[in-house]
């Protein structure tokens, strides 16, 4: 049988299992999640044996230490996967929730009820823990899921799947609700993206190249984000201490992630008093600074920023700094160079805070808080399956609710249209 | 300049204008909608002169009377367009609405605020009144819109655009928020579907061929519905009078639309007593009946249904009738042959009503009401830009709210991540 046919059959099987899952009770789903967690802990040795196959190959291929770190199923990572599933079991079930209900003049009672999307296709790179995390979120939200991890994590992903299937076989949930594409060929992604009758949503996670490839080849709707060029705007009259803390936290708390800040915009009246202090603090934090002409004039010895710096996601201890005339100029800069991810203003002014929140339409807009809070867990959404910078369906951190849709329900007593 | 470049430029212009529109006040938008309505009435002669060009060509080309009827900008149609815009002006503004707000343990206040999607691309056939309707809904929801109507309505659509632009030029809203693609070539659709940096959502309305073409060629998310195969299930013990009225209304009130019923499922215990009565009523209503074997055994002289009847959207005075064993069999039939549009159960039984609502995940699921209520206006959503049978973003009738998304807003007082 061809790879194409095998992937299609897998998708058909997941879709059928997802129908059963959609009708499962919250209790059945939570029991399944806890069984999956328990089995991950129990089968730790098996997982690490299989993981070793991937690690050996990675060493052979000379992968970077950072890549190897992301690939490793350490005791801690396995415990994290198990604990993550138990956390998801403890979240409220989004399925069946009545979002709103209203009554029409003809007495029809109309409401919106949350239902699963159906089947989610997840395409990602390296980290094998994503396999368990995504399986848990999809199961809780009533969705089947087909996972396609990176070829470098192939044995690890298949092992995680085997352990999850063992657990599911002891529960009311059919094991087929979770599947991994058992092919490492790039072409397998194309076949997956062609299963438009079986898969309702594709979520790619990884580098920009992978995401663009998926968008280009998919007939299935894709929820994606390309990059996070997040801004901190330090307004005229902002508390300098608060501004400094927020910029430092946004840049240095974890520079390699998408909600880290990449550009600081500073109001011109803050340039003389605040900028030198900010630069010192950033340098103390090991951050390289690339300044606009006005910034460099204020603080001598900085690297001048090139035009390309304003649209770069450094994912590193580098930050671009620009002096702007006012709030309007800050907003114009963010609209021109931003990536619709997360922006924050540091201000004491009520009206400018409100204007910033209202006029910027990035997926997360903040006042006086670090961009690092732009995260499903931090924002109270439970866990997070991804962050979307496309506006359709989900925009911003996407948790369990983002994996559902709503149908209309109508209670009548014999109404017909006149 | 090539057509491709001209369409791209048009999209860029709409996107720029849409930014201004997104920040416009409700009052400014409503004044613009009323000005558009007033000018449509004032420029009726101009619209009808231009419409005549399309009508003459249609007659020359031998278009069907039904097609010509849909193409005609009669006094009544123009008044309907104007009144529609005034109605939209009277709806509440969805933009800026705070959907929900919560507080985190660290005192961050987090909310979701409705914002426009950005720019909507609308691709449709014949009816030139869609041009004004779509422009009104998009304007109210803060979205720019690029319209691409059928070539047979070209002069009419351009005339409607001209009249809307005249009106907008007297208001605070830039005229460029509404544009019509001024090319009749099919290739123009491809160029439009390639403007992924400018257009956020594509809504095709028309025959299945057009919709499939759009889905296949678009890199922009598409909200669509292919067809409406709606079901009425008459449960064991249902009130026969109510069941008869609902089936008749669902089939005959307006057979050519997507929320008309195409199949009736009848519980086996209702076959002997109810079926003959239903068949008589349907025949009196001029409906042709295609029955399953059990239906034909019960009521002699009916046309036997072929397998293909169960998945056909007749859009005509034809209905398929099937006897089923029980609720489970009815649900299984709907899942297998349905189109996820609208289904209704007629029942007196509380538990089966609840089961039907819960277990069927079509976009609209009803108890004891005609499928004809599956409509944005009837359901109280205001107007309707389309009905979606794809689950992502909008599922079911799609009104103003469906043309928005939400961003997260965060109020802090200096929070950083530890």
**Domain locations in chain B as residue ranges:** 3-224+396-410, 230-378
Mean local confidence (pLDDT), A342-349: 98
**pLDDT surpasses 80 at B410:** yes
B213 contact residues in A (CB cutoff 8 A): none
| Residue range A154-177: mean pLDDT, rounded | 98
Question: Residues near B293 by Cβ (< 8 Å), separated by ≥ 6?
Answer: B304
Residue B271 pLDDT class (50, 70, 90 cuts): very high
CA distance B132 to B135: 5
Q: Is 90 exceeded by the pLDDT of residue A386? A: no
What band does A311 get if pLDDT is binned at 50, 70 and 90?
Answer: very high
- Give the model's pLDDT for residue A241: 98
The answer, for A378 touching chain B at a CB cutoff of 8 Å, is: yes
Average pLDDT (A283-301) is 96
More confident residue, B217 or B33: B33
pLDDT at residue A207 tops 90: no
Smallest CA–CA separation between A104 and chain B, in Å?
7
- H or E stretch at A37: helix A26-42
- So what's the pLDDT on residue B402? 93
Q: Where are the beta strands (DSSP E) in B186-341?
A: 201-205, 230-234, 261-267, 288-291, 303-304, 318-324
pLDDT-derived band at A81 (thresholds 50, 70, 90) equals very high
Q: Residue A91's pLDDT band (boundaries 50, 70, 90)?
A: very high
Whether the per-residue pLDDT at B347 is higher than 80: the answer is yes
Select the residue of B22, B242, B369 nearest A361 (Cβ to Cβ).
Answer: B22
Average pLDDT, chain A: 95
Of A30-44, A154-168, A194-208, B236-250, the poorest mean pLDDT is in A194-208
pLDDT at residue B126 tops 80 = no
Which has more confidence, B289 or B125? Answer: B289
Please choose, from the candidates A142, A394, A382, the residue with its C-alpha nearest in 3D space to the C-alpha of residue B358: A142
Residue A160 has pLDDT above 90, yes or no: yes
Name the least confident of A335-349, B2-16, B58-72: B58-72
Query: Can you give the pLDDT at residue B216?
Result: 85
Does the distance separating the beta carbons of A411 and B367 come in below 8 Å? Answer: yes
B-chain residues within 8 Å CB-CB of A102?
380
Query: What average pLDDT does the segment A195-210 reach?
Result: 91
Any CB–CB contact under 8 A between B416 and chain A?
Answer: yes
Rg of chain B over CA atoms, in angstroms? 24
How does residue A83 score in pLDDT terms, banded at 50, 70 and 90? very high
B307-315: average pLDDT: 96
pLDDT greater than 80 at residue A152? yes
Check: complex ipTM more than 0.90: yes
Which CATH code for domain A230-378? Answer: 3.40.309.10
Percent over 90 (pLDDT), chain A: 87
Each residue's pLDDT tens digit, B383-392: 788 889 889 9
- Asked if residues B148 and B192 have their Cβ atoms less than 8 Å apart, the reply is yes
pLDDT at A226 over 80: no
The answer to whether the beta carbons of residues B156 and B126 sit under 8 Å apart is no
How, if at all, do strands B404-415 and B109-116 pair? Answer: antiparallel
A164 pLDDT higher than 80: yes
Whole-model pTM?
0.91
Residue A333's pLDDT band, with cuts at 50, 70 and 90, is: very high
Tell me which residue in B201, B335, B372 faces A392 most closely, judged by beta carbons: B201
pLDDT (0 to 100) of residue B29: 98
- B418's CB contacts (< 8 A; 6+ apart) are none
pLDDT of residue A264: 98
Lowest-confidence range among A61-70, B25-34, B305-314? A61-70
Residue B360 · residue B334 · CB < 8 Å: yes
User: Under a CB-based contact definition with an 8 Å cutoff, are residues B235 and B349 in contact?
Assistant: yes
Residue A143 has pLDDT above 80, yes or no: yes
**Would you state the pLDDT for residue B386?**
85
Residue closest to B195 by CA, chosen among B11, B6, B2: B11
Q: If you average pLDDT over every residue of chain B, what do you get? A: 95
Predicted confidence at residue B390, as pLDDT, reads 87
Q: Which runs of E-coded beta strand occur in A288-357?
A: 288-291, 303-304, 318-324, 342-346
Q: Kindly state the average pLDDT of the residues A33-46.
A: 98
Q: CB distance B415–A370 less than 8 Å?
A: yes
Is a pLDDT exceeding 90 seen at residue A125?
no
Average pLDDT over residues B37-58: 97
Kindly provide the residue ranges of all beta strands, DSSP E only, lying in B309-417, ordered along the sequence: 318-324, 342-346, 364-369, 386-388, 396-398, 404-415
Asked if pLDDT for residue B219 goes beyond 90, the answer is no
Q: What average pLDDT does this structure show over B312-318?
A: 94
Considering only residues B243 and A219, tell me which one the structure prediction assigns the higher pLDDT. B243
CB within 8 Å of chain A, chain B residues 333-362:
335, 344, 353, 357-359, 361-362
Question: pLDDT band at A382, cuts 50/70/90?
Answer: confident
* DSSP-derived secondary structure letter, B288: E
B396 in A contact zone (CB under 8 Å): yes
Question: Looking at CA atoms only, how far is residue B39 from chain A in angstroms?
Answer: 31
Domain A3-224+396-410 fold is Aldehyde Dehydrogenase; Chain A, domain 1 (3.40.605)
Question: Residues 18..37 of A with a Cβ closer than 8 Å to B: which?
Answer: 19, 22-23
Nearest-by-Cβ selection for B361 from A344, A361, A407: A407
Cα of A25 to nearest chain B Cα, Å = 12
Chain B's closest residue to A222, CA to CA, is B221
Strands (E), B325-403: 342-346, 364-369, 386-388, 396-398
Q: What is the pLDDT of residue B66?
A: 84
- A298's CB contacts (< 8 A; 6+ apart) are A271, A272, A275, A276, A323
Report CA-CA distances (Å) from A284 to A7, A132, A257.
Answer: 52, 39, 21
Is pLDDT above 80 for A163?
yes
Kindly give, in sequence order, each residue whose CB lies less than 8 Å from that of residue A371, ignoring residues fewer than 6 positions away. Answer: A230, A232, A250, A259, A260, A261, A342, A343, A344, A364
Task: Tell me what the mean pLDDT of segment A250-259 comes to.
Answer: 94
């Amino acid at each position: 049988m061809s790879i194409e046919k095998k992937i299609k059959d897998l998708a058909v099987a997941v879709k059928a299992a997802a129908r059963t899952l959609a009708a499962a009770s919250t209790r059945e789903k939570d029991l399944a999640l806890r069984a999956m967690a328990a089995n991950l802990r129990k089968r730790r040795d098996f997982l690490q044996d299989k993981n070793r196959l991937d690690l050996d190959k990675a060493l052979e291929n000379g992968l970077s230490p950072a890549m190897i770190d992301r690939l490793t199923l350490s005791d801690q990572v396995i415990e994290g996967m198990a604990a993550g599933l138990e956390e998801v079991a403890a979240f409220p079930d989004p399925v069946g929730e009545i979002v709103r209900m209203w009554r029409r003049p003809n007495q029809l009672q109309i409401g919106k009820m949350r239902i699963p999307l159906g089947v989610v296709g997840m395409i990602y790179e390296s980290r094998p823990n994503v396999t368990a995390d995504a399986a848990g979120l999809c199961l809780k939200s009533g969705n089947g899921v087909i996972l396609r991890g990176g070829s470098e994590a192939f044995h690890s992903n298949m092992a995680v799947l085997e352990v999850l299937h063992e657990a599911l076989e002891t529960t009311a949930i059919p094991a087929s609700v979770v599947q991994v594409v058992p092919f490492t060929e790039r072409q397998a992604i194309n076949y997956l993206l062609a299963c438009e009758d079986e898969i309702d949503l594709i979520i790619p996670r990884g580098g920009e190249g992978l995401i663009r490839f998926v968008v280009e080849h998919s007939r299935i709707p894709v929820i994606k984000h390309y990059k996070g060029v997040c801004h901190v705007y330090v307004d005229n009259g902002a508390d300098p201490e608060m501004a400094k803390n927020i910029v430092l936290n946004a840049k240095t708390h974890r520079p390699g992630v998408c909600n880290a800040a990449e550009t600081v915009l500073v109001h011109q009246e803050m340039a003389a008093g605040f900028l030198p202090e900010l630069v010192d603090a950033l340098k103390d934090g090991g951050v390289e600074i690339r300044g606009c002409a006005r910034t460099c004039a204020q603080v001598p010895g900085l690297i001048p920023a090139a035009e390309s710096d304003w649209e770069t996601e450094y994912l590193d201890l580098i930050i671009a700094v620009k002096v702007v005339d006012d709030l309007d100029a800050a907003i114009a800069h963010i609209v021109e160079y931003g990536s619709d991810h997360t922006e924050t203003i540091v201000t004491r002014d009520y009206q400018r805070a409100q204007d910033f929140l209202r006029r910027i339409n990035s997926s997360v807009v903040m006042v006086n808080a670090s961009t690092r809070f732009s995260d499903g867990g931090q924002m109270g959404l439970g866990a997070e399956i991804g962050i979307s910078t496309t506006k359709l369906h989900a925009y911003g951190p996407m948790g369990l609710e983002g994996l559902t849709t709503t149908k209309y329900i109508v209670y009548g007593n014999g109404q017909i249209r006149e």
